Structure 1
Amino acid sequence: MRADAMKNYEHILAVANEVVTQHGTDASLRDIARRAGVGLGTLYRHFPTREALLEALLRTGFDELTATARELETASSSDDALVSWLRDVVTFTGSYQGVVAAMITAIEDTESALHASCVTLRMAGARLLARTQAEGLARTDINGDDLISLTTALAWLGDQPSSAPRAEHHFSIIVSAILTNRASG
């Protein structure tokens, strides 16, 4: 990519991050282009669909969460590692209103621009869960699909104004439902 095109790409992405953080995943693409000082055509050349833009916004965070999961796979406490990773995922996915619905859809849609990133994130969590299960510290009747569903449910709840004040309580309940050695609190 040419240097000026790369600069435009990065600028559009930075502006999109601000707009999507403020207005959620349904933010106006026209508004993003206007705020970035580019034409709508330029935005679409870099991001042909809303989903492609969203994937670019989420990719770095998903990559970081996947790398964190890899690091946590060797942590001495598998249950603490799993809880730490779950908290990070809930926090990250909760930072963009509407991202949870896009993630859930993308996991099942192999044509989705978000599919690979979402599947990789799910597999990272599944590995942490499997380790915790192997040590007898987590229920064995759940899998990576269940884990990502519970995690995104927590992120969605945190996004609801009436539920946000109880986000920590909800997190605790879900953790106690996953792990066999913890009580909710």
Structure 2
Amino acid sequence: MDGLRKDAARNRARIVEAAGDLAARGEPLAFNTVARIAGVGVGTVYRHFTAIEELEEALVWERFDDLDRILRDTGPAELERVLTAHFTLLTEDALFEKVTERPEPALEQTVTKRTALIGRLSELMGRAREHGDLRADIDAQGVLLLVCGLAHAARSAGVAADSPEARILLRVAFDGLRVP
């Protein structure tokens, strides 16, 4: 991380790695547990992250970056592919969904990443509208709410992102986004 001493950067990386391991196992994040696993004092964790929400957000920045890369390399005819990828990330990563649905992110970098994601999706949707592939009465924020809701419902029901049930849910949503 820019501006950190080498030892501080190393500690931060260990903290993020430990928290990522806990999150991957579906265990709750707690600073004391993260500190113990990372081999640092809890004060060190607090120096890097003042609240658990900050740590959660740092853990999912890569997901935002993944979506950004997909959006950058996508044409208007591929909106379904983008939304399917987003649905999959949200379904497979409960922490990403939790951060995505958070009304007010804890970190400015999360705000920046989310704003960029919405902006790129808006651009893609605009191009899809120009091609006549997308209805005009929904914006990027609305589409993201729809995808988040579907992903939450699928995960809550134990429906895998790549299952026939998930494909049907997505198909109904995509059909609803098309020009009538």
Q: Quick one: distance in 2 between partners of 1:70 and 1:150? A: 21
Amino acid at match of 1:89: H
What is the CA-CA distance between 1:60 and the residue it aligns to? 2.1
Q: Residue 38 of structure 1 aligns to a residue in which SS?
A: coil
Q: TM-score, normalised by structure 2?
A: 0.83
Count the aligned residue pairs. 172
State the match for 2:114 in structure 1: 118
Shift of 1:29: 2.9
Q: 2:177 is matched with which residue?
A: 178
- Give the Å deviation of 1:136: 0.3
Gaps of 5+ in 2: none
Q: Structure 1 residue runs of 4+, over 3 Å off?
A: 161-165
- The CA RMSD measured in Å over matched residues stands at 2.2
How far has the Cα of 1:162 moved from its partner?
Answer: 4.3
Q: Tell me the amino acid that sits aligned with residue 168 of structure 2.
A: H
Among the aligned pairs, what percent are the same residue? 24
Q: Does 1:132 align with 2:132?
A: no
Aligned partners of 1:86 and 1:56: how far apart in 2?
Answer: 23
The equivalent position to 1:141 in structure 2, one of 137, 144, 165, is 137
Does the CA contact (< 8 Å) of 1:138 and 1:178 recur in 2?
yes
Matches of 1:22 and 1:161 in 2, distance apart?
19
Which segments of 5 or more consecutive residues in structure 1 lack a partner in the other structure?
none
Amino acid corresponding to residue 46 of structure 1 in structure 2: H
User: 2-side partners of 1:127 and 1:43: how far apart?
Assistant: 38
Give 3-state SS (helix, strand or coil) of 2:94's partner.
Answer: coil
1:61 to 60, 63, 70: 63
C-alpha distance in 1, partners of 2:111/2:96?
Answer: 13
The 1:3/1:98 distance shift into structure 2, 3 A limit, reads closer
d(CA) in 2 for partners of 1:7, 1:50:
19
Match of 1:71 among 70, 73, 85: 73
